[in-house]
Structure formats: C-alpha cells, structure tokens
Amino acid sequence: MGPSRHRLPLRAFERICSGAATRREVALLREAEHSTRRLKLLALADAVAALPGGLGPFADVGAAWAVLADAELQSADAVADVLMHPTVGVWLGRALRQVLGARDDPTPLWSQVGGFHALAASAAVRTGLPCSLPVPVLHGAVTLPTVGTFPVRTALPVGHARFALDAGGVSVTVAGGREPLVVEPVKRHRLAGGGLAVEVVLDDSDPYRGFGAPTPARPLDPARRLEWAKHLDEAWELLTRHHPAAAEELSSVLSSIVPLERARPVFAASSADAFGCVAMSPKESALELAEALVHEAQHSKVNALLPLVELERPDGVGYCAPWREDPRPLLGMLHGIYAFTAVVEFWHVERDLVPPSLRGLADYSLALRADQVGRAVARLRGAASLTGPGRGLVASASARLAVCGPVDVGGRTSEAVRLTGTAHGVRWRLRHVRPSGEAVVALADAWRAGAPAPPGAVRGRVVPVAAPATARLAVLLRLREVDPDGFARIAAGTPGDPDCALCLGDAEAAAAGYARRIERADGDAEAWGGLGAALDSPALRERPEVVAAVRRALGGQRGGAPGPVELARWFDRRGR
C-alpha cells in the first residue's frame, strides 16, 4: 500500500464547478478519496500500535493489516471496493478520531478498533483469501462491509467473535461455540436505462449507515423494498431522459442509499465520511427522489474536492444560509450554494416537462431555490476568507443561476418566495444576532424622550442558539402553491390565524395577529418573522433583533412596551 500523489487539473476543477461532472472527473475525485482512506487506515494502524493496551482481542492490528495486504495482492480492485464502501469511511473517521483522542465516543475503543479486522475479513471474502480473525459484534451481528451480516446470539450491544474462511467455507465462532451460519447479503439494486447503469446498495443493516454511532439493523420488509426499487427505477428513468448529464454523474458517484423511517423529518442527507451515500426518507414521487439524488451527489463531490483544493480558510463566522435555521460556517455555505444550484437547474428543466398537476411544485421549487442561492451568493460577496478557487466556485454558481433566470413563475408564486425569504431572515437574526447593549439603551432613551431614532448602524454579533426552530409560514406558503385544496382546508379550519391570513393576501390582518402574539410572548421568533414579512418595514427586514431588543428594554416603563408595529414604524422613519 504505497503512497500516491494526486493533482486536480484546473480544467477538471472548472468543469466540476460548472455543473455535472463527467466520469473522468468523478474518477479523479474517487481516486483521491481512495488514497485519503488508505492514509487514514495507515494512520489508524500506527496510532493503535502506540496505545498502551486495553484492546482485548483486537490488539494485533498487524495481523489484520497482513490479511488486507495479501488480499490486495489477489485483487486490488476488490479491496478498493471494500475500502470505498461508504460505511467504511464513517467507521474509519470515527475510529481515527477516537484513537487520537479527538472525540468521545459511546462505542468502546476496543470495539471501534475491531472494525479494522472486519475490514480485513471483508477483503478476504471478496478475494477468496483464507483467514482467521477476531471481528466485532455490534447489535447482534458481525457485519462485513460489501459482504453482508452474520447474526450472532447475544444480549449485549457489543462483543466479539472469530471469523474464519478456509477450504470448508466460512464460520463464525463466539464464546459459546460455533454459530449456525446465516448470512444476510448486502441488498443491491441495479439501475439501468439510457445507456447508463449503476448498482446501488440499499443499506438497512450496516451499523454505521446512519453516519454516527453504530445502530441496530432495520431490515426493509419485502413490500417496502419493492417500493424503494420501484421509485428508484422511475427516478432513474426520469434522470436519464431529462437530465442525462446528471445521470452520468450519478452513475459514477452513487453507491449506497440508506432508507430512513417514514416518520423521520429528513428529506435527504449525506456525510463527508461517506462518499457516494445518501440517507433519505421515502419520497412521494420519482420526481422528488430524483431531485434528492441530484442534490446529495453535489455534497459528495464537494467533500471529495476538499483534500485537493482549498476553497476557504475557516473564519469562525456564522453565516445566514437561507435553507437553514442555524448559523453555518463558510464551508457549509459553499456546500449549499453548489448543491442548490444543481437543484435550480433540475427544476428549470422539469417545469416544462411535468404534468399540469405538478406544475405548481416545479414552479415553486425553482423559484424558491433560485432565490435562496441568489441570497447566499450575495452574502458571500467580498468574503475575505474565500480562496481563489472558492471564489471561482461561487462565481460559477452565479453564472449557472443566470442561465436559468430570470425565473418567471407568476406574481403569486414569486410573492410566496419573497415572503418565505423575508420571514426566514427575520427569524434567523432574532434567534442568533445580539445587538450592542449600548446602542439599544441609546435607542430606548430616544423613544422615551419622544425623539426620532438616532441614525447609524447598530453592531451585532452572532451567538448561535441550538434550540429547535420551526417555520410554519414557509410550510403553508409552499402548500398553497403545491396543494391549493389542502391549504384551503387548513385555512378554513384556523380562522384568525395570522400565517393563513398572510398566505391569503390579508397582510393587515396578519400583522395584527402577529403583533398580538408578540405582545403575549416577546421571544416568539416565528411571529416576528411573520410580522417582518407582512409589514413593508426596512427595520424589521434588516435589523429585527434591534427592534425586539429595544422593545424589551422599554418593557419596564410605565404603560409597558410599545406595540411592535408602532416601534417598527418609528425605526423606519429615521431612514427617511
């Protein structure tokens, strides 16, 4: 396992920035990711060798390394396939961080190190190499990446067994004796069409499939597996017909899909450690599934780029990403800009091809994502911590956005997108930005004196709040565009609701309703967000945290705090 040197040609980087990558460019990223994992594996072996002990049956990493090296001599491609399996990347990242003391982990260190032996056993099975190795037992099974799981009778969440492969076949032995050999092979599904094909793993059993600490298997029943296969086939057919470049990219990137429970509120997710893997909840249509696959493939590409190209220098700033409720680092902004630009391109094509029943979904999705990417690009304009390549990635996203625009989806849909973006910005600042205390006191004093609001910007600092946030207005606005009948039923059942009033175009009633909510609970960020969307108030759009802080400061005076609308208008007059 010797070292390799990787270079990413400038033209390849520019091609990746400009949209879907070809197989050649993805191959460059895969090769770099493969080398990164080999280096991590070597670093893990060295770090484990330096440990004072406590690894039980997994102390001899050298034996596992020898099996892995011999297997590579038999078939380098097979070993590379095992090493590049997404869950191997997750295990490897967690194990290395734990061994180096960079993080606490609920998994015992000896069990985590045992993943090295499971990796070697997998390589042995794939290449037909005889071996006998201890392997970890996690949640009642021995799991060999790309091979499958071997159930083991145990009441403990972690343990160990001995795995052997010889002329007589495979055996798994635990302390109580040899286990009846039952193997549940990795579930694979082949997608083919339009001259493109890819085989993906439907991973419902690997303990590291959730990108975090090991979890028990959640096997798909036959009906759910058929449902996933049907939707995947339909999504692939759609992609190869309407988006051939994206389908070609996915045929080289995608390797594994982790089905989540239907109740999980996760549209789709990926991990920097799991190249080519997408975890997602079931989708209502092939259209939504195709969108999710295109989106998550972009994150895999950016993650694979990072060892090759420095896109940014961490600056510790928490940025406002229009698609998230929490402050994001600069790299997170780049991820989102790149991924959602591909989503904009997806809907730019689909809106002219979908049936009339889905035109509302296509128009709204296109307009919303284009608006969000545009806002994010504007917020990074002039960001000093972007490197040259990082600025190039943002500039390419902006150029791609321009090709898809201007987005003409009609006044009502455009209004829904505008209201969604405004309310998000207000909520975000209310939750995470703290204005200067001195400036707040000066503004409160001016109000008490009946004077105009003094001019000048009020400094603030981002203080992330980890509490969960909701965005009901955004949900209702989307529903109004995508399912008008469904929205009408909700609106009819909630008279006087300010969110519904705003969706129905009654901004005055909505503002009054939001104001009443704020008077009852001054910290209601959703109500402030709705008020900012309902009022034509620059102060609420640009510095809502200042308006709210001054109102709180005035709350102790005789007569109580002023109404939020009255106070916002006072702030707005200073700008005239």
Give Cα separations from 506 to 510, 526, 531 (angstroms).
6, 18, 12
Residue with tokens 């999705």: 365
- What confidence score (pLDDT) does residue 269 get? 93
Q: Which pLDDT score, from 0 to 100, does residue 4 have?
A: 66
Between these two residues, 438 and 176, which has the higher pLDDT value?
A: 438
Mean pLDDT of 537-558: 91
What's the token pair of residue 315? 């600056």
- Per-residue confidence band for 468, with pLDDT thresholds at 50, 70 and 90: confident
8 A C-beta contact, residue 389 and residue 309: yes
Q: Using an 8 Å Cβ cutoff, are 344 and 401 in contact?
A: yes
**pLDDT for the residue numbered 143:** 98
Q: Where are the domains of the chain?
A: 21-171, 333-407, 416-573
- Tokens standing for 60? 């001899």
Nearby residues of 547 by Cβ (< 8 Å), 6 or more positions away: 539, 540, 564, 567, 568, 571
pLDDT of amino acid 329: 97
Cα(549)–Cα(86) distance, rounded to whole angstroms? Answer: 47
Q: Tell me: pLDDT of 504 over 60.
A: yes
Task: Answer whether residue 264 shows pLDDT above 70.
Answer: no
Bridge partners (DSSP) of residue 191 are 198
pLDDT digits (tens, 9 = 90+) for 21-44: 999 999 999 999 999 999 999 999
> How does pLDDT run across 327-377, given as a tens digit for each residue?
999 999 999 999 999 999 999 999 999 999 999 999 999 999 999 999 999
Asked if 65 contacts 38 with a C-beta cutoff of 8 angstroms, the reply is no
**DSSP assignment of 97-156, as one string?**
HHHTTSS--SS-HHHHHHHHHHHHHHHHHHHT--EEEEEEEETTEEEETTTEEEE---SS
Cα–Cα dist 76/59, whole Å: 26
Instruction: Using the predicted structure, report yes or no on whether residue 493 has a pLDDT greater than 80.
Output: yes
End-to-end alpha-carbon separation of the chain, Å? Answer: 69
d(C-alpha 529, C-alpha 196), whole Å: 46
* Rounded Cα–Cα distance for residues 260 and 59 (Å): 35
**What is the band of 537 on the pLDDT scale with cuts at 50, 70, 90?**
very high
Residue 384 burial (CB count, 10 A): 7
Q: Rounded mean pLDDT of the chain?
A: 94
In angstroms, what is the C-alpha Rg of the chain?
27
39 vs 8, 44, 120, 232, CA distance in Å? Answer: 18, 9, 16, 34
Indicate whether 408 pLDDT > 90: no
Predicted pLDDT at 559: 63
Residue 171's φ and ψ, nearest 5 degrees, are -140, 150
pTM of the model: 0.94
Give the model's pLDDT for residue 557: 66
* Residue-wise pLDDT tens digits, 269-305: 999 999 999 999 999 899 999 999 999 999 999 999 9
Cβ burial of 571 (10 Å; 0-12, 13-18, 19+) is buried
Calculate what percentage of the chain has a pLDDT beyond 90: 87
